[in-house]
Amino acid sequence: MTDRGDPLNVEHTSDVEHINSARAGSGAPVLEVRDLSKAYRRRPILRGVSLTVQPGEAVAVIGGNGAGKSTFLGCLTGERLPDSGTVRIAGADPFADLTAVAAALGSVPEHPFLYGELTVAETLRFITEARRLDRAASLEESGRLLGIFGLEGAEGLPCRELSQGMGRKVAVVAALLHNPRLLVLDEVFNGLDRASSASLIRELDHRRSRGCAVLLSSHDFTMLAEWCGRGLLLTRDSWKELEGDAWQAWARSPSLAG
């Protein structure tokens, strides 16, 4: 993680513990994964992975390089087609009911794509129109989010001129704009400075308190241990859920071992 520093201070950590202990688990799960498998060139990457995520939860996706983290997250967002198993986001199939899933899901992949010829403002207007959001409300929310991430004055910049960190922040704003029920974030803190990372953590805390669930992949295991309430540990040929005492044990000494 690039120059993220440590945005989790004592006061903030107590807030995180409160959210995680609540588990905000009333109602239907926002994500249900059953027996998900995926192979490349006949080499299994994911084998029968299952996971259920309730509203308001933050779940860490943990694994080394090549363990299948991005493959797993891509199977949730529809970027990759699983070989077998089922995925339901807010009860909808991402491979059959794209409209319902798009309304419930916000995602930032490890390598976000932005149209280089569009300005920041044009990108967010495009998102507004594509998602059929209320224009006035979307303009107000995009302005708030741009301010949070220190992007005031950057609205007229073409996306091709943005730094890595600025581009990632625009991708985050685009993912948050429609108030999704589930956020899938793959190495979202890469390229962000300390202040921007802290701002993102605060915004995610706010969203979680309102029921948004977060699935987060990061190489910063310390941050995952402090902020998430449980984890999914992926290895090259297996997987394991870490929750309860198992999660607490992992969080005390976070590593690729579970």
Could you read off the pLDDT of 222-241 as tens digits, one per residue?
Answer: 999 999 999 999 998 799 99
Instruction: Give the domain ranges of the chain.
Output: 10-113+184-252
- Residue range 191-221, pLDDT digits in tens: 899 999 999 999 999 999 999 999 999 999 9
Q: Are 39 and 83 in contact, with CB atoms under 8 Å apart? A: yes
Domain 10-113+184-252 grouped into CATH 3.40.50.300: yes
Strands (E), 72-122: 84-89, 105-108
**pLDDT averages per 10-residue partition of the chain, 258 residues:** 45 50 65 96 92 98 92 93 96 92 95 95 96 96 96 96 95 97 95 93 96 96 95 92 96 86
Produce one character per residue of 173-212: b if its CB has 16 or more CB atoms within 10 Å, e if not: bbbbbbebbbbbbbbbbbbbeeebbbbbbebbbebbeeeb
The H or E element that residue 22 is part of is helix 10-22
- Residue range 40-58, pLDDT digits in tens: 888 899 999 999 999 999 9
List C-alpha distances in Å: 26 to 54, 55, 125, 213: 8, 8, 34, 12
What's the DSSP call for residue 30? Answer: S
Query: What distance in Å separates the CA atoms of residue 218 and residue 203, rounded to the nearest whole number?
Result: 17
In the chain the first and final C-alpha atoms are separated, in Å, by 22
Q: Are 9 and 40 in contact, with CB atoms under 8 Å apart? A: no
- Residue-averaged pLDDT of the chain: 90
- Long-range (24+ apart) CB contacts under 8 A made by 154-161 are 154/120, 155/119, 155/120, 155/121, 156/119, 156/120, 156/121, 157/119, 157/120, 158/116, 158/117, 158/118, 158/119, 159/114, 159/115, 159/116, 159/117, 159/118, 159/119, 159/120, 159/123, 160/116, 160/117
Instruction: For residue 34, list its beta bridge partners.
Output: 86
Give just the sign of the alpha carbon dihedral 211, 170, 6, 195.
negative
Sheet architecture: strand order including 84-89? 43-53, 31-40, 84-89
Query: What distance in Å separates the CA atoms of residue 182 and residue 211, rounded to the nearest whole number?
Result: 9
Residue 153 amino acid letter: G
Q: Are 57 and 229 in contact, with CB atoms under 8 Å apart? A: yes
What's the DSSP call for residue 100? Answer: H
Which pTM does this prediction carry?
0.88
